[in-house]
Amino acid sequence: MSAQNTKQAPDGGWGWAIVVASFMGQLLAYGSPQSVGVLYPEWLNTFQDSKGMTAWVGSLVSGVGLIASPVCSACVVNFGARPVTIFSGVMVSGGLMLSAFAPNVQFLIFSYGIVVGLGCGLVYAATVTITCQYFEKRRGLALGIITTGTSIGGFLYATVQNEFIALFGLDGCLLLIGCFALNIIACAGLMRPLHLPAYYLKQRAALAEKTEEKVLEKAPVVEDPIKKNQSVNVLITGETKERKSLVSYAALVRLVKKKQKEYSEYLHSTAELLQNRVFLATCVSLFAYCLGAYTPLLFLEDLAQTEGLISGISTIPLVSIMSIAAGVGKLLLGVMMDIHWMNSIFLYSFTLLGTGVVLLIIPVTKNYTGLRVISALLGFFSGNWSVIPYVTTKVVGMDRLTEAYGILMFFGGFSIMLGPPVAGWIYDWMHSYDLAFYFSGSFVLLGGAGLFLAAVCCRNNNQEETSTPDTECINDYDKVATVA
């Protein structure tokens, strides 16, 4: 096993089995959450609760995984991708099956929103991490393949859940897709570790240290050839125990001081990042985008039924169209990043502005065909998640990407949890979705415009101060980096 810890990324071979397993893992985990808009009208009819309260289910399942992404990543680093994937498969499957027996919306918020959401976050962290371990030169291609699993899963599950509801009811549908999610455990079987997880390395180091301590404890007894009396041995044993307790206390104090220093350094580093105007604008724009962009994923299907544009749910629901368009958007926007003159910050701003305009058009659309076109556009623009690592790299540099990306995901996850419930409360107040979509579109437009202006100002400052590097902006606009 020690040899595995020094293996290099093979960029092929068993790595493609890892890609297939990771793709299927994301498809099975994210299929239902990405098509939660099909389940939302059924929950409204079943529990007769307010739209704002019911919307918490769909918002939490998307937001909890993002907010908990640092914890999920730490679990993968310490325990490895395979055990984490197995545990996440149990969580996703158990949460879905438990939701079939939900007596009210509050129970659904826990079983579907929190349990399934955390399971999805663990699956994503595990699949991305092990794929990065197996690929270096072809990492972008491998990550592009596995992340499309969420979009294809949303496309397939929207239709499948629709048919299962018609055949077996809402409870039967949740039980069946929960059974499907158990196959995530089978996907974990293919995830052969390339490197030893940190937990096993720590256990090995602790075992070696404990062995050394035992040898040192026995040493005085072995070296003393004459045992004078029992009191001397008792004295030596007492001194040894006292010395060990003092050493343990000193080690504990050093550990506490070390952790305090690490936390203070992390807070100081985070404050430095937020002083970067473009990065702060990126955080605000992502918060504004997620506040409005996830509203149609949950409410468009209910809007079509409420307005009488369609009876029941279409054979190909609107969330299916959004999911497949999102997959196309991820691939095309990712390819556009390889164009040498393309600026990722401006491209990301364009997708935000486009999303805001499309959201503002929804209230004036009075036919189902128009909603299909809008769903396709919203799905394509939502592929901008593949651009966020590029944008983050441009703004803060490669060295601080991991820390900055975690901060961005916190802003995005927190916003996703707030957006749909706020839109639902607006509907409960106005009895119309018009103001909810105007609210969502306005926030997304403001976020996109703010990021665009910040990037323009920063670029102008860089051009004026070419003699000295700007600490707040990154000059190298030609460098493109893909990061998991």
pLDDT tens profile 379-432: 898 888 777 777 777 777 766 766 777 788 888 888 888 888 888 888 888 888
Q: What is the reported pLDDT for 241?
A: 52
126 close to 91: Cβ distance less than 8 angstroms: no
Q: What is the reported pLDDT for 3?
A: 43
Q: What is the reported pLDDT for 341?
A: 77
pLDDT in tens, 87-96: 999 999 999 9
- Band (pLDDT 50/70/90 cuts) for residue 467 is very low
Q: Residue 277 and residue 147: Cα distance in Å, rounded?
A: 30
Q: Residue 78 and residue 76: Cα distance in Å, rounded?
A: 6
Give, in order, the Cα–Cα distances in Å from 134 to each of 10, 14, 49, 143.
Answer: 6, 8, 47, 11
Q: Residue 227 and residue 163: Cα distance in Å, rounded?
A: 84
- Band (pLDDT 50/70/90 cuts) for residue 482 is very low
Q: Which residue has the tokens 């990037």?
A: 455
Q: Which two tokens stand for residue 287?
A: 């918060």
What number is the average pLDDT over the span 79-99?
A: 91
292 close to 441: Cβ distance less than 8 angstroms: yes
- Give yes or no for residue 179 having a pLDDT over 90: yes
Q: What is the CA radius of gyration of the chain?
A: 26
pLDDT in tens, 337-378: 767 777 778 888 888 899 999 999 988 888 888 888 998 999
Q: Residue 399 and residue 380: Cα distance in Å, rounded?
A: 30
Portion of the chain with pLDDT greater than 70, in percent:
75
Vertex 47 angle, CA 42 and 51, to 5°: 75
Give, in order, the Cα–Cα distances in Å from 43 to each of 159, 199, 292.
Answer: 17, 42, 22
447 close to 289: Cβ distance less than 8 angstroms: yes
pLDDT in tens, 151-166: 888 888 888 888 898 8
Going by C-alpha positions, the residue among 192, 190, 187, 179 that lies closest to residue 92 is 179
Across 18-32, 274-288, 426-440, which has the greatest mean pLDDT? 18-32
Q: How many CB atoms lie within 10 A of CB 72?
A: 24
What number is the average pLDDT over the span 37-48?
A: 86
Higher pLDDT, 218 or 167: 167
300 close to 37: Cβ distance less than 8 angstroms: yes
Q: Which two tokens stand for residue 178?
A: 């929960």
Q: What is the reported pLDDT for 205?
A: 66
285 close to 447: Cβ distance less than 8 angstroms: yes
Vertex 317 angle, CA 314 and 318, to 5°: 125
**What crossing angle do the helices spanning 14-34 and 51-67 adopt, rounded to 10°?**
160
Alpha helices in 337-433 (DSSP H): 344-361, 368-381, 388-396, 401-430
pLDDT in tens, 301-346: 878 877 777 766 666 778 888 888 888 888 788 777 767 777 778 8
Going by C-alpha positions, the residue among 437, 451, 236 that lies closest to residue 347 is 451
Q: Which two tokens stand for residue 6?
A: 């020094």
Q: What is the reported pLDDT for 242?
A: 55
Chain-centroid distance of CA 370 in Å reads: 31
Q: What is the reported pLDDT for 469?
A: 39
- Band (pLDDT 50/70/90 cuts) for residue 476 is very low
Q: Is 453 helix (H, G, I), strand (E, B) or coil?
A: helix
Contacts of 181 (CB under 8 A, 6+ apart): 28, 29, 32, 89, 92, 93, 96
Instruction: Indicate the average pLDDT of the chain.
Output: 78
Q: Residue 19 and residue 397: Cα distance in Å, rounded?
A: 28
457 close to 349: Cβ distance less than 8 angstroms: no
Higher pLDDT, 80 or 272: 80
